[in-house]
Structure 1
Amino acid sequence: MAPLSQKALRLLSVKQLLRPHISVAWVSTYKAVIFDMFGVLIPSPLPKATEWEDKNGVPRGTIGQAIRTGGDGNVWRKYMRGELGPEEFVEAFSRDCSQIVGFKVHIGSFHSALTSDSMTRPLTVMMEAVRCARAEGLKTAVLSNNFLLLGGRSYMPLDPSLFDVIVESCRVGLCKPDPRIYQLCADRLGVSPQEAVFLDDLRFNVEAAERVGMRGITVRDPAQAVKELEEVLKVPLSGFVPGTRSVRQTQQLPMDRLAQYLNSAVQLPQTGPITVRQFSHSHSNSTYLLSCGGHQLVLKKKADTEALRKECRLLTALNKVGVPVPDVIAHCEVPSVLDTAFYLRSYCQGRVFNDFSLPELDADEKKCVYEAMIQTLCQIHRVDPETTGLADLRERVSCNSGGFMEFEVKRLAQQYKAHETQPIPAMNRLIEWLLSHLPEQQKATLLHGSFRLNNLVFDSEKPKVRAVLGWSLSTVGDPLVDVAFCCMSQYLSPNTTQPGNKLASVDIPSAEELFELYSKAMGLESIPHWQFYMAFSFFCQAVILQANHISSLKVTAGTRDIEDMAELAWVFAIKEGFRIFNAVPRAAGS
């Protein structure tokens, strides 16, 4: 595959079009929360030390005294800084404890107790606070005085994916309360100390953090510490649900009126207060998760009543023919409830893969997930718009003799021109090319409109799609538009040096392989012109970038980003041009 131009590689901001974007709409001084590990995220070792001392006939406080004696150069500190291995530490620390009590003590079993099962269980209230903080757009870090195990591994019983940064004393050669380790953690997070909150169960470690400018919280009771952290951050840190965040102040719902509606319209049993969270996808400010008495519903607001009716009708029709979509429970167009139309649907629990490289899965599981994605898309495209009452979705192109693709290219070109701030030659060239290379009209099918991996909810245990979300752009048209759209993630990674390289290198099917999977599942011989549809998809995204640039939405882009996207589309246009040229019959002897 030919390398892209340098322009086409600058796609860091563009990736937000295909990935969830969490915007910190609330104003906060703080951008990061830094957690100690022992005594904050996992149990404190102090009770374990007392238990060991009692069990082994060692006076209480011996281990604590050995830890404190000798200052910065004592055995414990050296072990925490990674200057001693575990065997050296056990021998030297046993000697220190023996000198304190006046008889021989061997602390090998205490060292083992530090990594026992009871010490590996994260504290639930704190881990939920970590997840909630991340859902609000805050960075999180672990800053721990930690030690090495045999083999050179550090003791880390936490899920590293929940933290942007993990700083361990045994890895960096510094221990709390050394001010340098706090600054190092802040630097790695990309924040100033004044923008970070630090939690530790030892007051002198908290005081050291405060001296470098951090806001400190001493953890004596984890639940109480979380409440204090909530007051500092001004966001709730409990009730976490994946993919959601707390409701922004400007987007609160009138709960009294909503509760009355729920009670009368859907007979939701109110065994307690209704809790509300907001879905954190960039385009989901109008979508909420309602929880009450073990029941969960999704509420979606739409100012456009016709669009709301269309979406409800679409989901209802698809549900009847077995397409995995949420159940529509009710819809309301009475403005006195929420001041705008809305509908309620079932909440589908499961896995949503926001990282398209699927790092948590092995190679076979990754393949199965992508195959399930394509099989689900085929299921959608097999739906008959006529018999399901959805044929009217194609009305907007009925008067267009050139077919769906010509209509779409012209419509998007017109939209682009309406938002154009300065000429971008790459876009003008691309528009001309698309209009002169329109493929043969495909059989029209139901289109999802924004079909991609993170619009699917998978079963928690197996690679089966439980629900397809995000139907607001659904229409009837060329099905290959959907296929190309779900392949775009293969080319929009900010760290790739060639299109498709990053995902292909981690056992993810390439775009060409996904098109092949689709063609086989749909009984097509092949899709030779698949690169036209890829070029068209990137053209669509360039148009969206232009509109966002004008309206100053959260997903921002300048003309340079738009040109980059057009350049990426042009890569596929060139490939399609070569394919067409090579397919032309040659005269004999030529």
Structure 2
Amino acid sequence: MSPASRPKALLFDIGGVCVASPLKAILDFEQSQRIPVGWINYAIGAKSPSGPWQTIERGEAPLDAAWFAWFKNDLEDPLLWEEFHTKLNRGSGSVPPVPSIDAQTLFWYMMGIVRNRDEQMFSALQRLRASQKFVLAALSNNVTFPKSHPYNDLTPALADLMSQFDAVILSATVGLRKPEPKIFEIAVQQIDAIDKERSGKGVSPEEILFLDDIGENLKTATQLGFKTIKVRPGKIENAVKELEEATGESLVDKKQAKL
């Protein structure tokens, strides 16, 4: 990418980009419980935008027994299950019983997985921050844990990761979630304010490069004018290489890349 077209700001999703993917956690859970692959995401997405998952990510409900019961109920919805199974098998065969899903075990497994920092992306972030050429921000769908829960405390590795960002926009804090356009607009406002303070110029959406692992989120970002990079499961190194090309910065450890 030519210097003239390089971004002024970089906006990172957290899960699946800077830390391990919750989608991988769902896949692992499905395989370990012999649940058809794709069912959990199908059930979660089918109730958007007002299902339990979307509600908890906007901070509109407490993470309590009632929420877990709601989540479990949706994961075991017989009508949704029949719809999913019919699509999966193209209408052939009888529909088996809905699998019983331990919603709490699934949820906390996902939350545990995303506490693992991706070292390749972290190294890239450190180099980008050291260059002092970009506003670095994070935009993530998250949940608010009960006050006494240990996950409220970041591990040293996660604290170091989050310290690389000039701004952090979290869904449960602002009451909006990706792919809703308004949360992207909040990110632009914060990034723009930081750049104006630094350079006096400001930043437009067209000058922001957004990294995410969810196509729907990237679609909204593209519609708003952002440049985007899709981070694919197990392909963080490819995303870092795309980021290197877009920024003109050396982000890939050449010795490590040859291994």
Give CA deviations for 1:186-240 in whole Å, capped at 9, x if unaligned: 1111232122100001122112111111111111111111111111112212359
Asked if 1 retains the 8 angstrom alpha-carbon contact of 2:241 and 2:252, the reply is no
Output one character per residue of 1:523-542: Cα deviation in whole Å (capped at 9) or x when no partner: xxxxxxxxxxxxxxxxxxxx
Q: In the alignment, what sits opposite 1:198?
A: 210
Within 5 Å, give how 1:365-376 maps onto structure 2: none
Please give the residue correspondences for 1:199-348 in structure 2 after superposition, counting only pairs within 5 Å: 199-220=211-232, 221-239=235-253
Q: Please state how far the C-alpha of 1:154 moved relative to its aligned partner.
A: 6.0
Q: Which residue of 2 aligns with 1:108?
A: 104
Contact kept, 8 Å, 1:76 with 1:89, in 2: the verdict is no
Q: Cα RMSD between the aligned structures?
A: 2.3
Q: Give the Å deviation of 1:162.
A: 0.8
Equivalence map 1:405-420=2 (5 Å)? none
Q: What residue identity is the alignment partner of 1:79?
A: I
Determine the structure 2 residue equivalent to 1:257: none
**Residue aligned with 1:143, SS:** strand
Q: How far off is 1:53 after superposition?
A: 2.3
One of 181, 184, 196 as aligned partner of 2:183: 181
Q: Distance in 2 between matches of 1:28 and 1:200?
A: 20
Q: Which position in structure 2 is the counterpart of 1:93?
A: 71
Tell me what 1:67 maps to.
44
Residue 333 (structure 1) aligns with = none
Cα distance between partner residues in 1 of 2:36 and 2:253: 43
Structure 1's 64 and 158: CA in aligned 2 closer, same or farther, altered over 3 A? farther
Aligned equivalents of 2:139 and 2:175: distance in 1?
Answer: 13
Q: d(CA) in 2 for partners of 1:161 and 1:182?
A: 21
| Per-residue CA distance 1:46-89 (angstroms, 9 max, x = gap) | 22112222333433322111211122111111111111222243
Distance 1:155 1:85 in 2: 18
Query: Contact (CA 8 Å) 2:12, 2:139: kept in 1 or not?
Result: yes
Q: Structure 1 length as normaliser, TM-score?
A: 0.34
8 Å contact 1:149–1:155 — kept in the other structure?
no
Q: Is the 8 A contact 1:202 1:218 kept in 2?
A: yes
The answer to whether 1:30 aligns with 2:7 is: yes
Tell me, in whole angstroms, the C-alpha distance in 1 between the residues paired with 2:111 and 2:216. Answer: 24
C-alpha distance in 1 between matches for 2:208 and 2:111: 29
Q: For 2:102, give the aligned amino acid.
A: H
Aligned length: 215
Can you give the 5+ residue segments of structure 2 that lack an aligned partner in the other structure?
Answer: 82-96, 193-202
| Counterparts in 2 of 1:28 and 1:237: CA distance versus 1, 3 Å | farther
Provide the C-alpha distance between the structure 2 equivalents of 1:28 and 1:158, rounded to a whole number of angstroms: 32
In 2 relative to 1, CA 205–141 (structure 1 residues): closer, same or farther, beyond 3 Å?
same
In 2, the alpha carbon distance for the partners of 1:69 and 1:136 equals 43
Distance 1:128 1:104 in 2: 41
Distance 1:34 1:79 in 2: 23
CA contact (8 A) 2:22 2:111 kept: no
Cα contact 1:94–1:105 (8 A) shared by 2 = yes
The answer to which structure has the higher helix fraction is 2
In structure 1, stretches of 5+ residues that fail to align are: 1-25, 241-271, 273-590
Give the C-alpha shift of residue 103 in structure 1: 5.0
- 3-state DSSP of counterpart to 1:42: coil
- 2 CA distance for matches of 1:122 and 1:201? 15
What are the equivalent positions in structure 2 for 1:70-149 lying under 5 Å apart?
A: 70-87=47-64, 88-99=66-77, 100=81, 102=98, 104-116=100-112, 118-137=113-132, 138-149=134-145
Greater CA radius of gyration, 1 or 2? 1
Q: What fraction of aligned residue pairs are identical, expressed as a percent?
A: 30
Alignment of 1:50-65 (within 5 A): 50-65=27-42
The structure-2 alpha-carbon separation of the partners of 1:27 and 1:136, relative to structure 1 and needing over 3 Å to count, comes to farther
Cα distance 1:154–1:143, how it changes in 2: closer, same or farther (>3 A)?
Answer: farther
Matched residue type, 2:75: C
Contact 1:28–1:233, Cα closer than 8 Å, also in 2: no
Distance 1:185 1:227, change over 3 A: same
SS in 2 for 1:162: coil
Q: Partners in 2 of 1:89 and 1:131 — Cα distance? A: 38
CA distance in 2, matches of 1:119, 1:205: 18
Could you give the per-residue CA deviations for residues 246-304 of structure 1, whole angstroms, max 9, x where no partner exists? Answer: xxxxxxxxxxxxxxxxxxxxxxxxxx9xxxxxxxxxxxxxxxxxxxxxxxxxxxxxxxx
Partner of 2:170: 168
Q: 1:27: how far off?
A: 5.7
> Aligned runs of 1:365-444 on 2, under 5 Å?
none
Cα distance change on mapping 1:140 and 1:119 into 2, 3 Å: same
List aligned pairs for 1:527-542, cutoff 5 A: none
Aligned to 2:196: none
Q: SS at 1:73's partner residue?
A: coil
CA distance in 1, matches of 2:237, 2:184: 24
1:115 Cα deviation (Å)? 2.5
Q: Deviations over 1:342-391 (max 9, x none)?
A: xxxxxxxxxxxxxxxxxxxxxxxxxxxxxxxxxxxxxxxxxxxxxxxxxx
SS at match of 1:189: helix
Q: 2:137 is paired with a residue of what secondary structure? A: strand
Cα distance in 2 for partners of 1:44, 1:54 equals 16
Check whether the contact 1:146–1:155 (CA below 8 A) recurs between aligned residues: no
- Residue deviations 1:299-330 (CA, integer Å, cap 9, x gap): xxxxxxxxxxxxxxxxxxxxxxxxxxxxxxxx
TM-score normalised by the chain length of structure 2: 0.76
